[in-house]
């Protein structure tokens, strides 16, 4: 029971790609979607921020026209942060608290913020990668409007990207992404935040061109699920893995959950998001050029991914691709991604 829901604040156009990269739904009647609309004909772009009130989508007037938004997180309905970078390539955030938006930047460095998580009320942690080549990611934490730098204890001498962060509390977060010399298509890497600094807890072999982690979701200390994109054309693995892949973090160690896809689709299905619940189960999503796939992680087991009926993602390749999933309850989810010509999100009514 997944349907397309058109965003109302941006106009559909054949020459425009709608790159929706982040979604956060603190309740079934409150969601925020962020991204960027690229006009390929005129070579221009505009930021996209849309809000769902349980019935319809409306445009949110926030930020500046030159902003590029990459991710969004909400601790509660009135406690959200969106992150990205400004027209001058500086990290920028917009925070919604006490009924209003406020703009701030954690640094004057040239950094694109790529991930955010809000661990407690009035506290969010962000991560981003400098525009300079071969740079390790940077991180900051914000508490009641004040920013402080977070040390990154990582010795990788290559570009490092953090694509997603999930926090259990202020002293426990997991971040996932990729590292290598080819940008986000490098090898997967994950980081642990202990309340004061980031350290690596998994680093895949950089000589095996696999792809990176796209999303992570945690519900309890040392219990997280991450989805990995191994669908890059030159991905390879000694074990024959390719396409969508999932891992679960238990007691400080990552364990493979597998693909659970038909052999014919293993190479072509990319990860599209993960959402875990207090019950311990998780939803995972993947997508190909044509179909959307949905699966469940339960008791440390990934069930087979099934094709979502009635949802055709369309052409041309490699668009569209799915980017992020948010489910305020086990019965309702919102999925976002990149769509050529049409600004839509996918809303699912799920039966657990």
Alpha carbon separation from 308 to 2, 5, 219, 291, 320 (Å, rounded): 7, 16, 25, 7, 15
**87 phi and psi angles, rounded to 5 deg:** -65, -20
DSSP 7-43: -SSS---TTEEEEEEEEEEEETTEEEEEEEEEETTTT
pLDDT in tens, 64-75: 999 999 999 999
Which residue segment(s) compose the domain that 195 sits in?
A: 14-258
Kindly state whether residue 131 falls inside one of the protein's structural domains. yes
How many Å apart are CA 105 and CA 85, to the nearest integer?
Answer: 9
Give pLDDT, residue 206: 64
Give pLDDT, residue 315: 52
Average of per-residue pLDDT across 137-141: 96
Q: Is the pLDDT of residue 133 over 70?
A: yes
Reported confidence tier of residue 238, pLDDT bands at 50, 70, 90: very low
Kindly state whether residue 315 falls inside one of the protein's structural domains. no
The β-bridge relationship of strands 123-130 and 159-169 is: unpaired
Kindly state whether residue 107 falls inside one of the protein's structural domains. yes
Give pLDDT, residue 55: 84
Region of poorest pLDDT, from 119-123, 163-167, 339-343: 339-343
State how many domains the chain has: 1
The β-bridge relationship of strands 213-220 and 223-230 is: antiparallel
Kindly state whether residue 232 falls inside one of the protein's structural domains. yes
How many Å apart are CA 215 and CA 21, to the nearest integer?
Answer: 11
Average of per-residue pLDDT across 251-280: 86
pTM equals 0.93
Kindly state whether residue 8 falls inside one of the protein's structural domains. no
Give pLDDT, residue 258: 87
CATH number at residue 209: 2.120.10.70
Kindly state whether residue 38 falls inside one of the protein's structural domains. yes
**242 touches 229 (CB < 8 A):** no
pLDDT in tens, 315-344: 544 456 899 999 999 999 999 998 888 888
Percent of the chain having pLDDT more than 70? Answer: 90
Reported confidence tier of residue 24, pLDDT bands at 50, 70, 90: very high
Kindly state whether residue 267 falls inside one of the protein's structural domains. no
Kindly state whether residue 3 falls inside one of the protein's structural domains. no
């Amino acid at each position: 029971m997944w349907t397309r829901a058109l965003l109302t604040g941006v106009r559909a156009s054949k020459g425009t790609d709608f790159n929706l990269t982040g979604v956060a739904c603190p309740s079934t009647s409150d969601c925020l979607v962020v991204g960027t609309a690229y006009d390929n004909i005129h070579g221009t772009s505009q930021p996209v921020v849309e809000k769902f009130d349980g019935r319809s989508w409306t445009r949110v007037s926030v930020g500046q026209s030159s902003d590029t938004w990459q991710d969004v997180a909400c601790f509660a309905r009135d406690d959200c942060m969106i992150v990205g970078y400004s027209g001058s390539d500086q990290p920028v955030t917009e925070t919604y608290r006490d009924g209003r938006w406020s703009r701030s930047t954690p640094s004057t460095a040239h950094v694109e913020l790529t991930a955010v998580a809000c661990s407690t009320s009035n506290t969010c942690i962000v991560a981003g990668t400098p525009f300079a080549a071969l740079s390790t990611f940077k991180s900051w934490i914000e508490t009641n409007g004040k920013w402080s730098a977070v040390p990154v204890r990582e010795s990788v001498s290559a570009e490092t990207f953090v694509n997603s962060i999930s926090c259990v509390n202020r002293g426990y977060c997991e971040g996932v992404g990729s590292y290598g010399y080819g940008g986000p298509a490098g090898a997967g890497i994950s980081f642990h935040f202990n309340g004061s600094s980031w350290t690596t807890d998994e680093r895949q072999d950089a000589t095996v061109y696999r792809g990176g982690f796209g999303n992570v979701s945690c519900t309890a200390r040392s219990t997280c699920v991450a989805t990995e994109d191994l669908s890059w054309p030159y991905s390879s693995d000694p074990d024959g893995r390719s396409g969508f892949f999932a891992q679960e973090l238990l007691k400080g160690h990552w364990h493979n959950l597998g693909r659970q896809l038909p052999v014919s689709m293993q190479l072509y299905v990319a990860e599209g998001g993960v959402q875990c619940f207090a019950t311990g189960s998780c939803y995972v999503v993947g997508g190909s050029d044509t179909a959307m796939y949905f699966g469940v992680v339960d008791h440390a087991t990934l069930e087979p991914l099934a094709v979502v009926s009635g949802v055709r993602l369309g052409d041309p390749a490699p668009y569209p691709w799915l980017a992020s999933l948010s489910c305020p309850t086990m019965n309702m989810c919102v999925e976002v991604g990149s769509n050529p010509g049409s600004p839509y999100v996918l809303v699912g009514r799920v039966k657990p």
